[in-house]
Amino acid sequence: MDREDNGTADSRRGVQPVAARKMSTVDLVLHEIRHSILTGALPPGQAFTVPALTERLGVSHVPVREALRQLEAQGLVVLSPSRSAIVTPLDPGDLRSVYRLRMRLEPELAARAAGAHSGAGLAELARLVRVTFSPPAGEQHFDDHRRFHEMLILPAASDWDLRVLRPLWYASERYTRLVFDPIDIPQETAAAREHAHERLLDAARTGDPGRLHDELSRHLEANLAEILQALDVASAPASPETSRLGASGAR
């Protein structure tokens, strides 16, 4: 299989057992459930129970409960007093809150980091732009994309800044996947997104705090507007023609 096929299969594989992998059990469970949420294997609004997850994951209930508590803190699940949880539904208000916090924190940190990027750091940013948008893409795209945004602010970011922003990046990603599927995307759309990140890279290279602040602010505002539009389309009632197409199996 080529990389594209692997990415497609990986994104649809569902929750997998974790007992045989060499990491802390809580970290493994956290990674697996979060991956299933981000890829849609556990879709928004999906209800599930702790016993069902422990059986699917091949572990005891203790790491599952701890992982779910962490995922609730990240806004990805809602826990109930009973032994069940629901994947947080996609909601425009939730998205606006996530981006409001990102727009408050990231441009300021990027501006403070602008004059502090080393040559090696700028080279890594350039590499991340290149690999993130190089076809064929798969699930690695999202890891590289998060890393790019982290590297953009890293020279100025404290541990607390990163503790706050990392959950926001994961929360954003659930929505980003509505408008950007790296496996199946028009070439012109991928090129436009790559160009947007190249503008951020160019701003970082200048070392100009104001330019990087403004470029990142525009970048986040544009992302928010695009995702809100996709949410609006996704929630609109299907037309009779669309319904007939869906019933006939067309895509």
Question: For residue range 80-103, what is the model confidence (pLDDT) as tens digits?
Answer: 887 889 998 889 999 999 999 999
**How large is the angle between the packed helices 50-57 and 25-39, nearest 10 degrees?**
110
What is the domain partition of the chain in residue ranges?
Answer: 11-87, 92-234
pTM for the whole structure: 0.71
- Per-residue pLDDT, averaged over 242-247, amounts to 33
Pick the CATH number of 92-234 from 3.30.390.30, 3.40.50.970, 1.20.1050.140, 1.20.120.530: 1.20.120.530
pLDDT(238) > 90: no
The side-by-side arrangement of strands in the sheet containing 77-79 is 47-49, 84-87, 77-79
Please give the pLDDT value at position 210: 98
- Yes or no: domain 11-87 corresponds to CATH 3.20.10.10: no
- Per-residue pLDDT, averaged over 99-122, amounts to 97
Q: 15: which strand partners?
A: none
